[in-house]
Amino acid sequence: MSETRVGIIMGSQSDWPTMKEAADILDELGVAYETRIVSAHRTPDRLWDYGKTAVARGLHVIIAGAGGAAHLPGMMASKTRVPVIGVPVLTRALSGVDSLYSIVQMPKGFPVATMAIGAAGAANAGLMAASILAVSDPDLATRLDDWRAALSASIPEAPGDA
Ligand code: RP5
């Protein structure tokens, strides 16, 4: 494993089962990451510190997942130029549409790369982070190419009976 270049942050412990999908992908691809609970609402000082120190600590990508009034990715993007990938966590009340809208509608100037709602979005966030790092990491690029080829090869050409 290389040095930690990806931060996976989430608003609550309850987000972890979703955000673990991103961590699992990074494990598969041999990308080192750290995980933290950082809430825009409950731990705003922790959010500020994390964003303020992200560049100096060598982070290249931050994956931020939150549900409901999901301010975390946008607030983090306001605090650091490290690219932020947002994951809208599925919610019970509004099925994650609240999370999606909270994350995707950033004003001009502070982008968040927003993924799909839930587990697929979290897994894709891991892949997106790996893609960003692979631009300047040929070994990772090879592992990512192999991962993608294996996924393609696993898709049958014709449907079978269930
Ligand atoms: C958000 O509120 C978190 O990101 C989480 O998705 C949601 C619910 O949090 P808990 O009440 O489960 O801690 O801040």
Domain extents in the chain: 6-152
**Tokens representing residue 4 in the block:** 């930690």
Task: Give the side-chain half-sphere CA count within 13 A for 109.
Answer: 4
| Residue 116 confidence (pLDDT) | 98
Mean pLDDT for the chain? Answer: 97
Whether the predicted pLDDT of 2 surpasses 80: no
Q: Which residues, judged by CB distance below 6 Å to any ligand atom, belong to the binding site of ligand 1?
A: 11-12, 14-15, 39, 41, 66-68, 89
71-122 pLDDT, tens digit per residue, is: 999 999 999 999 999 999 999 999 999 999 999 999 999 999 999 999 999 9
119-132 pLDDT, tens digit per residue, is: 999 999 999 999 99
Whether the predicted pLDDT of 1 surpasses 70: no
Tokens 């975390």 correspond to what residue?
A: 72
**Tokens representing residue 90 in the block:** 């599925």
Residue among 8, 10, 12, 46 whose CB has most ligand 1 atoms within 8 A, to mutate: 12
**CB under 8 Å to 120, separation ≥6 — which residues?**
21
Evaluate whether 124 touches 86 at the Cβ level (below 8 Å).
no
Instruction: Look up the ipTM and state it.
Output: 0.96
Mean pLDDT of 42-55: 98
The CATH label, of 2.30.300.10, 3.40.50.920, 3.40.50.1970, 3.30.460.80, for the domain at 6-152 is 3.40.50.1970
| Residue 107 confidence (pLDDT) | 96
Evaluate whether 116 touches 124 at the Cβ level (below 8 Å).
yes
Is 0.90 topped by the overall pTM? yes
**Ligand 1: which atom is nearest the Cα of residue 41?**
14
| Residue 162 confidence (pLDDT) | 73
Distance 20 CA to ligand 1 centre (A): 15
Residue among 10, 14, 42, 75 whose CB has most ligand 1 atoms within 8 A, to mutate: 14
Residue 99 marked ligand-binding: no
Confidence of residue 53 (pLDDT cuts 50, 70, 90): very high
Share of the chain above pLDDT 70, in %: 99
